[in-house]
């Protein structure tokens, strides 16, 4: 069901950011790419499946040679589209898009920065690939940018700006079950816990707005029409996307949740939080009763009573691939 | 990232610095080599503390910090803190300043990590302010400054949301993420691992607003709970305790941010680096501007290019020889942080000291603004050189 594989050492530590680990499996080449953000850099490692070859690469944020503290990267994530995979980096300055191996930057979008310094921080955060050709990115103002991505080349264009959230976007997620029947294509979350459910298209359509309870939702996933949201209170909630009905509520962690991920075919959900624990859950969908059941899974081989000295802050979670899962626990 | 980090950075780091200095200044006359014993009286100690606190909480300085801006670079922050530490008749050589900075920063990093909710960073800051208030309770003018600053902080930070506090906290954690200096006090209490990383506890009360983990509840479409069960949590958490006071006075409840040195007795706090810090050697044009402005704000105390024998020198090492060795071997050295104060009986010193001390009774003078950008850079580099020479 679940077993621990060989650990991979990254070049430097992981920054304390939400959703700070992205994974891309490249089956034809038996390779997996991992990225972790470290301040104004992204550490990327490509690991062969036989565990014998590792190659490291670092990507810098654009304009990184200007004062370090003002060019921090907020998130790095792969956007898997039918024709290509794009690596997206979001920072205080803007949005960088690369070919999947990080070798060529294909697009740069600069964020509007106000003339005079305001108290409101400016940055981009929240990345999702939606349907065949969209990449959505959230902004600190609450807006979301929708980019139209061609099958190949760098002619990426800004197609739409969605203005629905009033607080900074924390995370975006697209429907990951692969099912074409789902009405909702994307969910967006913000710092006050509000969730917006969208249908993609030339004009994105707002299907539903699920109010937050003034508690930041730091990580969100959309699976089989169910929104899975992780909050700063350590709670995980499951909602039916289009109606907003609460399916389940889990008092999952004792501290702020930093990351969630779902293995779409098995329904395994992973949550990671600042309490230094990773928990695995099992989601079972019952279409007849339209309910989702959550049970916790014990992780064999992982001693949950690890002595205190070995626990470190968890800043990254791990995306689960269809058949396997990989763990990366890093510390600050 | 967050534009609101600086005031909290200086209050907390400055607070930690004051805790350390206060403890060190009290452990006098314990030198066991035969150097002259210092005449570091209670009054002298109080004066040092007052001078540093007066500079740190000066209206101009705080106003500058409260402007929305990015966090300074490591180098800029370090320079300003060094300047603050020298805002009195006390002097620290570079090696001692290094140790002081490491202790301050690691303590703050630990407090940031332990912070139950991001908003509690304010409580931690208020714990520092409460202690600082105690240090200057006999000096009404400085006490006033501290109170005024506290009021301003409450005004600025109370309206921030939890998400904004978390962003602030993340900005600071990212800034400190590569500092892994081992501090003996933390190692002893097993809160820090030998590799310099902190260990987090999975026991104790959950933060206010969080439920104790362990419960799963399922709801039907009409909102009624139809099932609930528990799961093993692997930790032993208890319900949250009451929230501390966010007002100017009150029970802060948490001990994070209070003076951890006041309970340490004969055993000194050692620091050791297992690997050298990333040195940011590129002079940063933006930082030069920041520092120049701050230099003007911090006051007219022009750092004279003096030889190191004048002034009250505070040494964080047991002997001069150790101090020399420490400055030569920057990494992997285990430094003893006991104190030795050397008082130079040179007559000239007294007059100089009187002059310098006199400068702190009035408002900080504005230094002449130099003409042209190149002069600004030179001025600042000169200032930084002088600081290092001390």
Option in B174, B235, B280 nearest A15 (CB)? B174
Please tell me the distance in Å from A249's CA to the nearest CA on chain B. 5
Per-residue model confidence as pLDDT tens digits over B55-100:
999 999 999 999 998 888 888 899 999 999 888 888 888 888 998 9
Q: What percent of chain A has pLDDT over 70?
A: 83
pLDDT at B312: 58
Q: Smallest CA–CA separation between A84 and chain B, in Å?
A: 31
Quote the CA–CA distance of B218 and B214 in Å, as a whole number. Answer: 14
DSSP letters for A34-59:
EEEEETTEEEEEEEETTS--EEEEEE
Q: What single string gives the DSSP state of each residue in B161-198? A: -HHHHHHHHHHHHHHHTT---EEHHHHHTTSB-TTSPB
B58 within 8 A of B50, measured Cβ to Cβ: no
B39 band by pLDDT with thresholds 50, 70 and 90: low
- Mean pLDDT, chain A, as a whole number? 83
Top pLDDT among A306 and A32 is at A32
Query: Looking at residue B304, what is its pLDDT?
Result: 37
Average pLDDT, stretch A183-209?
95
Cross-chain residue pair B200–A311, CB shorter than 8 Å: yes
A279: buried, middle or exposed (CB in 10 Å: 19+, 13-18, 0-12)? Answer: buried
Residue A218's pLDDT band, with cuts at 50, 70 and 90, is very high
Query: Strand pairing of A134-139 and A143-148?
Result: antiparallel
**pLDDT band at residue B358 under the 50/70/90 scheme:** very low
Measured over the CA atoms of residue B85, residue B87, residue B92 and residue B95, the dihedral's sign is positive
Residue A76 pLDDT greater than 50, yes or no: yes
Give the mean model confidence (pLDDT) for residues B315-326. Answer: 51
Q: Which of residues 49-68 of B touch A (CB under 8 A)?
A: 67-68
Q: Which of A66, A168, A240 is nearest residue B163 as measured by Cβ atoms? A: A168
Q: Binning pLDDT at 50, 70 and 90, where does residue A315 land?
A: very low
Q: Tens of pLDDT along A92-139?
A: 989 999 998 888 999 999 998 877 778 889 999 999 999 889 999 999
Max avg pLDDT among A144-158, A294-308, B31-45, B298-312: A144-158
What per-residue confidence (pLDDT) applies to B223? Answer: 86
Q: Which residue has the higher pLDDT, A61 or B335?
A: A61
Chain B: closest CA distance from residue A120 (Å): 7
CB B376 within 8 Å of CB B316: no
Q: What is the ipTM of this complex?
A: 0.88
Secondary structure element (H or E) that encloses residue B386, with its range: helix B372-389
Pick B332 or A171 by higher pLDDT.
Answer: A171
Indicate whether A140 pLDDT > 70.
yes
Neighbours of B248 (CB within 10 A): 14
Residues of A in contact with B114 (CB under 8 A): none
The 10s digit of each residue's pLDDT in A1-49 is 556 677 788 888 888 899 998 888 888 888 889 899 998 889 999 988 8
Contact A12 B178 (CB under 8 A): yes
Assign B328 a pLDDT band (cuts: 50, 70, 90).
very low
Confidence of residue A323 (pLDDT cuts 50, 70, 90): very low
What count of other Cβ atoms lies within 10 Å of the Cβ of residue A12? 15
pLDDT computed for residue B269 by the predictor: 56
- The whole-number average pLDDT for the span B157-185 is 92
As a whole number, the mean pLDDT across chain B is 74
Share of chain B above pLDDT 90, in %: 35
pLDDT score recorded for residue B338: 25
Chain A contact present for B220, CB below 8 A: yes
Nearest CA in chain A to B156: A119
Give the mean model confidence (pLDDT) for residues B304-316. Answer: 47
CA–CA dist B216, B228 (Å, integer): 6
* Residue B291: partners with Cβ closer than 8 Å, 6 or more residues away: B76, B79, B80, B380, B383, B384
Please tell me the least confidently modeled range out of A58-67, B231-240, B246-255, B305-314.
Answer: B305-314
Buried-state track A178-196, b at ≥16 Cβ within 10 A, e below 16 = eeeebebbbbbbbbbbbbb
Per-residue CA distances from B346 to B93, B301, B305, B312 (Å)? 19, 21, 17, 11
**pLDDT recorded at residue A239:** 94
**Is the CB of A297 inside 8 Å of chain B's CB atoms?**
no
Q: What is the pLDDT of residues A61-71, one digit of tens each?
A: 876 555 455 68
Is pLDDT at A289 greater than 80 in this prediction? Answer: no
**In chain B, % of residues over pLDDT 70:** 64
Classify residue A63 by burial, with Cβ atoms within 10 Å: 0-12, 13-18, 19+. Answer: middle
| pLDDT (average), residues A241-267 | 91
- Asked if the model's pLDDT at residue A304 lies above 70, the reply is no
Average pLDDT over residues A220-233: 94
* Ordered strands of the A73-80 beta sheet: A73-80, A85-91, A94-99, A105-110
Are A16 and B177 inside 8 Å of each other by CB?
yes
As a whole-number percent, the residues of chain A with pLDDT over 90 amount to 49
Asked whether residue B363 carries a pLDDT value surpassing 60, the answer given is: no
Residue B384 has pLDDT above 50, yes or no: no
Which of A91-105, A209-223, B124-138, B342-356 bottoms out in mean pLDDT, i.e. has the lowest? Answer: B342-356
pLDDT at position A114, please?
78
Most confident of the following: A322-326, B24-28, B318-322, B370-374:
B24-28
User: What contacts B78, CB < 8 A, 6 or more positions away?
Assistant: B101
Q: When comparing pLDDT for A302 and A145, which is higher? A: A145
Paired tokens of B270? 């050692």
CA distance A323 to B42: 70
Q: Is B275 helix (H, G, I), strand (E, B) or coil?
A: coil
- Minimum mean pLDDT range among A144-148, A172-176, B209-213, B352-356: B352-356
Q: Report the predicted TM-score, pTM, of the whole model to 2 decimal places.
A: 0.80
Confidence label for A305 from pLDDT (cuts 50, 70 and 90): very low
Judge: B170–A191 Cβ closer than 8 Å, yes or no.
Answer: no
Q: What is the DSSP letter of A28?
A: G
In chain B, what residues touch A191 (CB-CB under 8 Å)? 161-164
**A-B contacts (CB, under 8 Å):** 182
Distance in Å from the first CA to the final CA of chain B: 34
The whole-number pLDDT of residue B265 equals: 46
Q: CB-based contact (8 Å) between B280 and chain A?
A: yes
Strands A246-251 vs A134-139: parallel, antiparallel or unpaired: unpaired
Contact of A170 with chain B, judged by CB distance below 8 Å, is answered with yes
- Give the chain A residue whose CA is nearest to the CA of B280: A68
pLDDT for the residue numbered A60: 87
């Amino acid at each position: 069901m679940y077993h621990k594989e060989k650990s991979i050492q990254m070049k430097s530590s992981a920054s304390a950011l939400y959703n700070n680990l992205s994974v891309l499996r490249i089956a034809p080449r038996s390779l997996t790419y991992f990225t972790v953000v470290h301040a104004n850099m992204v550490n990327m490692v490509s690991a062969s499946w036989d565990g014998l070859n590792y190659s490291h690469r670092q990507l810098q944020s654009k304009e990184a040679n200007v004062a370090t503290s003002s060019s921090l990267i907020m998130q790095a994530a792969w956007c898997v589209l039918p024709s290509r995979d794009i690596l997206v980096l979001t920072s205080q300055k803007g949005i960088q898009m690369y070919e999947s191996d990080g070798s060529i930057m294909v697009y740069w979008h600069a964020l509007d920065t106000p003339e005079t310094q305001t108290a409101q921080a400016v940055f981009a955060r929240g990345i999702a690939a939606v349907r065949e050709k969209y990449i959505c990115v959230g902004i600190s103002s609450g807006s979301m940018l929708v980019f139209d991505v061609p099958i190949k080349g760098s002619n990426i264009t800004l197609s739409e700006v969605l203005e629905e959230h009033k607080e900074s976007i924390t995370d975006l997620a697209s429907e990951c079950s692969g099912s074409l029947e789902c009405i909702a294509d994307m969910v967006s979350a913000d710092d006050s816990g509000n969730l917006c459910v969208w249908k993609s298209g030339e004009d994105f359509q707002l299907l539903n707005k699920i109010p937050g309870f003034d508690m930041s939702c730091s990580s969100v996933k959309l699976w089989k029409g169910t929104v899975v949201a992780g909050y700063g209170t350590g709670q995980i909630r499951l909602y039916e996307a289009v109606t907003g009905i609460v399916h389940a509520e889990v008092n999952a962690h004792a501290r702020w949740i930093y990351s969630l991920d779902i293995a779409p075919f098995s329904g395994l959900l992973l949550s990671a939080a600042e309490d230094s624990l990773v928990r695995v859950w099992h989601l079972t969908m019952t279409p007849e009763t339209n309910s989702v059941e959550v049970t916790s899974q014990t992780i064999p081989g992982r001693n949950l009573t690890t002595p205190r000295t070995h626990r470190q802050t968890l800043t990254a979670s791990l995306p689960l691939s269809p058949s396997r899962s990989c763990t990366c626990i890093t510390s600050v | 990232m967050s534009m609101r980090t600086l005031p909290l950075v200086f209050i907390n780091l400055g607070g930690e610095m004051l805790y350390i200095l206060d403890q060190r200044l009290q452990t006098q006359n314990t030198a066991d080599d035969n150097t002259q014993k210092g005449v570091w009286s209670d009054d002298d100690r109080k004066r040092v503390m007052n001078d540093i606190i007066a500079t740190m909480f000066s209206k101009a300085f705080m106003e500058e910090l409260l402007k929305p801006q990015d966090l300074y670079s490591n180098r800029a922050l370090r320079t300003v803190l060094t300047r603050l530490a020298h805002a009195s008749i006390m002097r620290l050589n570079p090696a001692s300043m290094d140790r002081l900075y490491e202790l301050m920063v690691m303590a703050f990093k630990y407090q940031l990590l332990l912070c139950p909710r991001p908003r509690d960073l304010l409580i931690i800051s208020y714990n520092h302010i409460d202690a600082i208030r105690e240090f200057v309770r006999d000096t009404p003018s400085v006490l006033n400054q501290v109170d005024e600053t506290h009021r301003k902080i409450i005004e600025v930070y109370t309206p921030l949301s939890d998400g904004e506090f978390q962003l602030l906290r993340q900005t600071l954690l990212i800034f400190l993420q590569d500092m892994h200096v081992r501090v003996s006090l933390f190692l002893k209490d097993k809160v820090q691992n030998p590799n310099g990383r902190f260990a987090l506890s999975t026991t104790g009360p959950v933060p206010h607003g969080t439920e104790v983990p362990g419960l799963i509840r399922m709801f039907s479409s009409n909102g009624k709970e139809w099932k609930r069960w528990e799961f093993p949590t692997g930790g032993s958490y208890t319900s949250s305790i009451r929230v501390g006071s966010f007002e100017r006075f009150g029970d802060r409840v948490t001990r994070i941010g209070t003076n951890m040195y006041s309970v340490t007795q004969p055993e000194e706090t050692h620091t050791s680096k297992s690997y050298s810090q990333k040195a940011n050697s590129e002079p940063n044009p933006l930082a030069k501007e920041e520092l120049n402005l701050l230099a003007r704000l911090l006051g007219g105390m022009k750092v004279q290019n003096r030889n190191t024998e004048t002034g009250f020198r505070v040494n964080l090492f047991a002997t001069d020889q150790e101090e020399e060795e420490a400055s030569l071997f920057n990494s992997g050295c285990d430094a003893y942080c006991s104190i030795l104060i050397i008082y130079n009986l040179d007559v000239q010193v007294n007059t100089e000291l009187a002059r310098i001390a006199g400068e702190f009774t009035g408002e900080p003078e504005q230094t002449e603004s130099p003409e042209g950008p190149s002069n600004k850079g030179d001025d600042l580099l000169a200032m930084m050189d002088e600081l290092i020479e001390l």
